[in-house]
Structure 1
Amino acid sequence: MVTHGQLMIVCLLLLIAIILFSFSKLRMDIIALLIIVAITITGILTPAEALAGFSDPNIVLIALLFVVGEGLVRTGISYQMSDYILKVAGNNDIRIIVLIMLGVALLGSIMSSTGVVAIFIPVVISIASRTGLHVKKLMMPLCIAGLISGMMTLVATAPNLVVNSELERASLKEFGFFSITPIGLSILVIGIIYSVISRNWLIRSLPTSPDSDHKSRRKMIDLIRDYKLSGRAHRAAIKPDSPFIGRTIDSLHLRSQFGANVIGIERWRKFRKVMIPVTGATVFRENDVLLFDMLNSEENLRQFLITNALEPKVLRGEYFSEQAKEVGMAEVALLPDSALLNKTVKEIEFRTKYFLSVIGIRRNHEAIESSLVDEKLEMGDILLVCGDWRSIQQMQSRANDFVLLDLPTEIDDVAPASSQAIPALLCLALMIMLMVSGIVPNVIAALIACLLMGATRCIDMTSAYRSIHWPSLILIIGMMPFAIALNKTGGIAIVSDWLKTHLSIYGPHVVLMFIFLLCSTVGLFLSNTATAILVAPIAINIALDFGYSPYPFAMTVAIATSASFITPVSSPVKTMIVAPGGYTFGDFVKIGIPLTFLVMAADILLVPVFFPF
């Protein structure tokens, strides 16, 4: 039997969760797991109820959509968009903004909006660099389109699936694949017009981006110049009597002892020499040729080679271009809530975790020329990483810590599954057809698409597992118990009764506006997914108590949670663009508040047309 005391405990836990989310002292997925533990220990929910999210088909569907998105990246489909956009738009900023937003909305309708924005950030940076437009002009429209893309289809974003799941839990008919699309398209038009009108609002000084001196996409040789790496890279072969043979990189402590950072190893395989990526566990062999960078003097370099029985080899200027199919470089920017801040490259074990070496750091647009091993990472730092292209591209899924920026031109020739672009598109088309027709459940349609992508070599198992953004899934799973607990303890009924008393005299449109404002307010502190989990059952319950159809209210929750434009903290879509775009908290407030009210007006006008009260 539930008591008011249990309801107070649930509300207290919810308040604690909001505070923890707001201060960002702990990762959101850790907070979600703590919630599961706390709500179970209090006895309010059984372990089966608290862990119900792990068996929810929508959680599996979200994970599968990450995999589908990775398949589009690996086959090069996503990266071809920047060239197409520039070909059509030229240097016209209005056309570029329109095409970027349409492209993001199109891709975001069938895959995670977080994944789409991660794909388009380097596209936008590349376009800004090639056209001389300020990156702030383009990055905010990218963010707005990423959020609005969640309104395109049922599977476009997690909150839609949460709302749909709540309808199912209430024994109501679920939304169809395109139920939200007409409203989403209308709001997309509003968002595009607003983005065009507001494109210069955040530009206060220079009309060009910080790196606008690069009028075309940079090559690896340009990155070497920008990070002042010339003269630091060396090659050396391991002689038969070298102490390196049979030992791992970690065991030799090359960075701490000699200041040497091994970037790659040339090794003979099947009658040809190939470049292999290195990790801390890589074992050196006789005749391996090391590619390493070293900051020390010529005398120290000579001593390093003699001491370790290494034979110096010629390193020509075009070396990295010749090795571009195996070895790549890329820039990654730290995010504001990155767990890597205030830690050194050595402390975070970057190479062990990400299979890449940090070979340069730029701070305030200036390269750091001292040793990087003990350099503490700061907000706004941009890291130059080096390694195999697969590991570089997988950095896109590390959305909690950093975002992958503009990739050098060499990437165009090394898409790991570029020959499978057509099979990837066919798999995607089949998934959409199955979802629209309803022949099989959505989760099974996505699973079929993933299996076919694997069978046609669009993606491999390692990439598939790494593409899944596990923190997002854990956050959803951890917030689900709140909705169950609020319903079980009578919290939702209390809120519904209070609203029935105070709002019933105003009519359904006012109630709809209240639901939208409630989502917007909660969304200032919680993620859009967590907001949907909390507000969806309240909205549906209010509608049923008032004698209205639950569908316009459930749809409003889906629309409002995607329209979280005001702060940069409630969605990874916004968090990811802060550093690359150079935005402040106030920038989001300035752009977000008018747009939120525009979307609310559109919601109140359009939702009842498609979903009558």
Structure 2
Amino acid sequence: MPGDMLFVFGLLAVTIVLFVSDKVRLDVVALLVIITLPLSGVLTVGQAVAGFGDPVVLLIAALFVVGEGLFRTGVAAAVGAWLLRMGGTGETRLLLFLLPTVAVLSAFMSSTGAVAIFIPVVLSLAREANLSPGRLLLPLAYASLIGGMLTLIGTPPNLVASAAMEQAGFAPFRFFDFTPIGLAILVAGLAYLPVAVRLLLPARDTRADGPGHPPLREFARRYGVEGRLHRLRVRPGSALAGETVFDHGLRRAFRVTVVGIKRDGLLLPSLMPVLETTRMEVGDLLFAEGAADDVERLCAGLDLEHLGFPEGELRRMHQVFGAAEVLIPPESPLLGKSIQEARFRHHSGLSVIGLRRDGRPVPAHFTETRLAMGDTLLLLGGWKQIQALSHQPRVFVVLETPAELDDAPPHADRAPLALGIVAAMLALMTTGAVPAVVAALLAALAMVACRCVTMDESYRAMNWSSLVLIAGMLPLAAALEKTGGVTLIVGALVAGVGSHGPLALCAGLFLLTSLLSQFISNTATAVLVAPIAMAAAAGMGLQPAPFMMTVAIAATSAFSTPMATPVNTLVLAPGRYRFMDFVKLGVPLQLIAMALTLAIVPLVFPF
């Protein structure tokens, strides 16, 4: 064995030991690999750092931006709320609903793209259901990989295997030839993953450390305004139709404050705060704050319909509306003015729904109370208006904002644009009109150009440790290929098991391919192993289809390491996974995939 090949095998062994030991960060190990390869002379400096410009790394970086755009526009939260309604808050039920959804999507588009879309959805979903994201994200990644086994276009190894057969003069695989095997693995995965995550994955808390902000309900309790939020509909013929809340003086006449409107749009309903100039329309849903008897008087007087307030509607409202507690400072121009005279809605777009003086709530009818230094107010309105309060330090001192502000999408009005951008990206990826990396980069640029996400938010969205990890492992794969290590392994395995019959050869090919795909791109693995499988089939006088199908499925069964595929790398950081998490959950799934492949392939493609 040549010295450079022996060195690369040794480096691979040390890398795996460091990964498994969890004593050194994965990205630091990857950097050490990048440094070691050119120092040893196996690769040039350019080859060692080429991973940072590799299409896979650029694809992942672009998808981080696309995912951030979905989060910042509220699309992720909306999809998460829908999944929550469909699947409930139980971990097992959510997985049984989420995983098939992702798998079907991955059957027709890039698995990496599907996971990038669903990561912010799952994070939002986990917050709403009070679950650990780490119990959802790795199963999500595995479901997307299995989804790639369902169709010819689901994953590149399928296309590599089909093209190799066609080039050798055999009929290529048809679109749904992969479906029986992929479907069996998906069903087995749905049975295995919900049980395995509970037994094998710890429920790590992924929230930031340190004390958090109180929720909105705590603000309501402090100011004695719990249970005072109501939902009203403007009926045809209502005196409010075509008028503003200022025209009717609702606060003065009924002691009720209309703080928001939900109005049907061209594509989706829109939620918006109520300003002095906002005119009501027939069919509008109004969010009003006030005592129940005052709200009933308002409905009777202006012909409004009093509706219930389902929990889901309240969650959607919190995406747009919120509250803040502010203090009246010593030199505030509001000192000595009543709430009505201060015209909060006119100057800040916010409504005062609570007042505390000397640490105690002032009774509900406080609009004529004159403000004094040290008073604190509870302001309600749109998140954008609340965030703008910090620009008026002479008028208000912002004491506290609720926890819901962290989840509020700052660019919610751009949600239709974000959806259109993602749809265009998926269309480009699915049709193959442009390479996947180009489609993702175009989508990332469009997200910034359409102001779905800012440049600063884009850079913060990058998970640099994940990018460094995969950029560092790519040159190690290149070194294995350059020194002939991959060819040596493949040749030895085929020579060792080929004499034991076709099923033994299929088993050997599966083991070899799935092992290589844990450390080398699954596409590169398929390219390397496919010609060996073709030659072995020819040498035994057998049809190549069962062997090529085995290679394709095995290459996609990259479940056991975080660097095996970009899909695994994407979920590594947000799930706070360790190397052994992939091993514990992935190896059994890989063995299940192998057993099902060896059982079904001979039935679908007889030797």
In structure 2, the CA distance between the partners of 1:221 and 1:504, relative to structure 1 (3 Å rule), is: same
**2:318 paired with 1:318:** no
Q: Counterparts of 1:84 and 1:31 in 2: how far apart (Å)?
A: 40
In structure 2, the CA distance between the partners of 1:499 and 1:201, relative to structure 1 (3 Å rule), is: closer
- Deviation track 1:24-51 (CA, whole Å, cap 9, x = no partner) reads 3333223223222221122222233333
The Cα of 1:561 is off from its aligned counterpart by 0.6
Q: Counterparts of 1:486 and 1:199 in 2: how far apart (Å)?
A: 34
Match of 2:553 among 553, 556, 562: 556
The Cα of 1:502 is off from its aligned counterpart by 0.6
Q: Counterparts of 1:29 and 1:442 in 2: how far apart (Å)?
A: 25
Corresponding residue of 2:459: 465
Match of 1:428 among 411, 422, 433: 422
**What secondary structure is seen at the aligned counterpart in 2 of 1:318?**
strand
Residue pair 1:552, 1:607 contacting (<8 A) in 2 also: yes
Corresponding residue of 1:22: 20
Match of 2:56 among 32, 55, 58: 58
Residue pair 1:500, 1:545 contacting (<8 A) in 2 also: no
- Deviation track 1:420-461 (CA, whole Å, cap 9, x = no partner) reads 222222222222222222222222222333333333322232
Q: Counterparts of 2:385 and 2:530 in 1: how far apart (Å)?
A: 54
Corresponding residue of 2:529: 539
Q: Counterparts of 1:74 and 1:515 in 2: how far apart (Å)?
A: 45
**What secondary structure is seen at the aligned counterpart in 2 of 1:562?**
coil
Residue pair 2:561, 2:583 contacting (<8 A) in 1 also: no
The Cα of 1:162 is off from its aligned counterpart by 9.3
The Cα of 1:68 is off from its aligned counterpart by 2.0
**What secondary structure is seen at the aligned counterpart in 1 of 2:80?**
helix
2:374 partner letter: V
Corresponding residue of 2:8: 10
Residue pair 2:33, 2:473 contacting (<8 A) in 1 also: yes
The Cα of 1:480 is off from its aligned counterpart by 2.0
- Deviation track 1:485-530 (CA, whole Å, cap 9, x = no partner) reads 222222222212211221112345434433544566678xxxx565
Give matches, 1:188-203, under 5 Å. 188-195=186-193
- Alignment gaps of 5+ in structure 1: 130-134, 212-216, 226-232, 241-270, 276-311, 329-385, 389-406
In structure 2, the CA distance between the partners of 1:42 and 1:587, relative to structure 1 (3 Å rule), is: closer
Residue pair 2:48, 2:475 contacting (<8 A) in 1 also: yes
Number of aligned residue pairs: 431
Corresponding residue of 1:255: none
2:68 partner letter: E
Corresponding residue of 2:139: 144
**2:215 paired with 1:219:** yes
In structure 2, the CA distance between the partners of 1:456 and 1:574, relative to structure 1 (3 Å rule), is: closer
Give matches, 1:366-381, under 5 Å. none
Q: Counterparts of 1:54 and 1:47 in 2: how far apart (Å)?
A: 12
The Cα of 1:111 is off from its aligned counterpart by 2.4
Q: In terms of Rg, which structure is larger?
A: 2
Q: Counterparts of 1:39 and 1:168 in 2: how far apart (Å)?
A: 33
The Cα of 1:178 is off from its aligned counterpart by 9.7
Residue pair 1:417, 1:459 contacting (<8 A) in 2 also: yes
**What secondary structure is seen at the aligned counterpart in 2 of 1:314?**
coil
Match of 1:447 among 424, 441, 459: 441
1:546 partner letter: A
The Cα of 1:143 is off from its aligned counterpart by 2.9
2:66 partner letter: V
In structure 2, the CA distance between the partners of 1:577 and 1:97, relative to structure 1 (3 Å rule), is: same
In structure 2, the CA distance between the partners of 1:317 and 1:20, relative to structure 1 (3 Å rule), is: farther
Give matches, 1:239-254, under 5 Å. none
In structure 2, the CA distance between the partners of 1:427 and 1:24, relative to structure 1 (3 Å rule), is: same
Give matches, 1:442-591, under 5 Å. 442-518=436-512, 528=518, 532=522, 539-540=529-530, 542-547=532-537, 548=544, 551-552=548-549, 554-562=551-559, 573=571, 576-577=574-575, 589=584
Match of 2:99 among 87, 98, 101: 101
1:318 partner letter: L
Q: Counterparts of 2:84 and 2:148 in 1: how far apart (Å)?
A: 27
- Deviation track 1:116-142 (CA, whole Å, cap 9, x = no partner) reads 345413413422x4xxxxx48x96455
The Cα of 1:317 is off from its aligned counterpart by 7.0
2:9 partner letter: C
Q: Counterparts of 2:516 and 2:409 in 1: how far apart (Å)?
A: 41
**What secondary structure is seen at the aligned counterpart in 2 of 1:457?**
coil
The Cα of 1:65 is off from its aligned counterpart by 2.2
Residue pair 1:424, 1:458 contacting (<8 A) in 2 also: yes
**What secondary structure is seen at the aligned counterpart in 1 of 2:113?**
coil
Q: Counterparts of 2:35 and 2:177 in 1: how far apart (Å)?
A: 36
Q: Counterparts of 1:161 and 1:464 in 2: how far apart (Å)?
A: 28
- Deviation track 1:563-591 (CA, whole Å, cap 9, x = no partner) reads 669x9xx8663675469xxx9979984x6
| Residue identity (%) | 29
- Alignment gaps of 5+ in structure 2: 208-212, 222-324, 333-345, 351-371, 388-398, 538-543
Q: Counterparts of 2:145 and 2:331 in 1: how far apart (Å)?
A: 58
2:126 partner letter: V
Q: Counterparts of 1:186 and 1:177 in 2: how far apart (Å)?
A: 17
In structure 2, the CA distance between the partners of 1:506 and 1:86, relative to structure 1 (3 Å rule), is: same
Residue pair 2:448, 2:454 contacting (<8 A) in 1 also: yes
Match of 1:71 among 69, 72, 79: 69
In structure 2, the CA distance between the partners of 1:495 and 1:196, relative to structure 1 (3 Å rule), is: closer
The Cα of 1:541 is off from its aligned counterpart by 5.7
In structure 2, the CA distance between the partners of 1:153 and 1:427, relative to structure 1 (3 Å rule), is: farther
- Greater Cα offset, 11-20 or 513-522: 513-522
Residue pair 2:514, 2:554 contacting (<8 A) in 1 also: no
Q: Counterparts of 1:160 and 1:313 in 2: how far apart (Å)?
A: 65
Residue pair 1:35, 1:479 contacting (<8 A) in 2 also: yes
**2:43 paired with 1:45:** yes
2:536 partner letter: F
Q: Counterparts of 2:377 and 2:7 in 1: how far apart (Å)?
A: 66
